[in-house]
Amino acid sequence: MPKLDESLLTGLPPFSLLERGQIRTILDQAVSRRYDEGTAIFREGHDADRFFLLLDGYLRVIRTTPGGDQIIVLHISPGQLFGIAPALQRDTYPATAVAAAESIALSWPVRHWADFTTNYPGFATESYKTLGQRLGQIQETLTEMATQAVEKRIASAVLRMVNQSGRKTATGIEIAFPVTRQNISDMTGTTLHTVSRLLSAWQKNGIVESSRKHIVVTDPHALVLLTGAQG
C-alpha cells in the first residue's frame, strides 16, 4: 500500500492542532481500506476492536430497536470519526455502519484510543463534540418518529440528507449518495408504500425528482415548509 500523505488529516478537526510529525505517527499506525456500497464496516454488538475515520464516501448508521426493527439513525460524512465505542465507555459497537456509497476509511486498533486522547491536542475535544452532536441527532430522529406526522418525518429526513451532502445541479440540490425509498422508510419508521406515495406526490408538485437510488430536491423552500418549519 502506498504511504499515506499527511495532508489527508491536516485540515480535519480531530487533527487540526497537530504538527506534521504527529500526523505522520498517527498515519503510520493506520490501515486504509475501501468499502463497496452496501458493505457493513462493523455490526452492532460486535467487539469494538478498531476506531475509524471516513476519508471519502458516506455511511449509514443503523440501530436495532427492542422490537427487532432496524432504523437508520444518521449518516456520516467524509472527515468524521466513527466507531468510537471507547468514547462511550463501551467495548462493543452500539450500531452498525454500512457504506451508503463506495467509501474509504482509515482505522486504528482500539488500544491506541487512550494514547490519542491523552497525547494529541484537540483529538479528545473534537471526538466528544462529534459524539455529542450524533447523540443529539439520534434523539431528534427518534423524537420525530414518536411525535410527528408521517409527511413531516419524511420531509425532515430528506432535508437532513440535503443539508449534510447536497450538491447543486441544474435542476436543484442532489443528495450526494445513493438513497432508496426503502432507506427512507428505514429512517422514518414508515412503510415503503407510504414513502413511495409521498415522493410521487412531491414529484408531481415539483418539490423533488426521484428515481432509482437518486433524489434531487427541486424546491428546497417547499420541502422546508413540509417539515413544519417556518420559511
Name the residue ranges covered by the structural domains of the chain: 7-136, 148-226
CA dist., res. 157 & res. 160, Å (int): 5
In this prediction, residue 28 has a pLDDT band, given cuts at 50, 70 and 90, of: very high
Percent of the chain with pLDDT over 70: 98
Rounded to 5 degrees, what angle do the CA atoms 79, 18, 60 make?
A: 15
Quick check: 228 pLDDT over 50? yes
Confidence of residue 68 (pLDDT cuts 50, 70, 90): confident
CATH class of 7-136: mainly beta
Class of the CATH-defined domain 148-226:
mainly alpha
3-state secondary structure 52-121: EEEEECCEEEEEECCCCCEEEEEEECCCCEECCHHHHCCCECCCEEEECCCEEEEEEEHHHHHHHHHHCC
Largest CA distance in the chain: 56
pLDDT bin (cut points 50, 70, 90) of residue 231 is very low
Q: What is the mean pLDDT of the chain?
A: 93
The pLDDT of residue 230:
52
pTM of model > 0.85:
yes
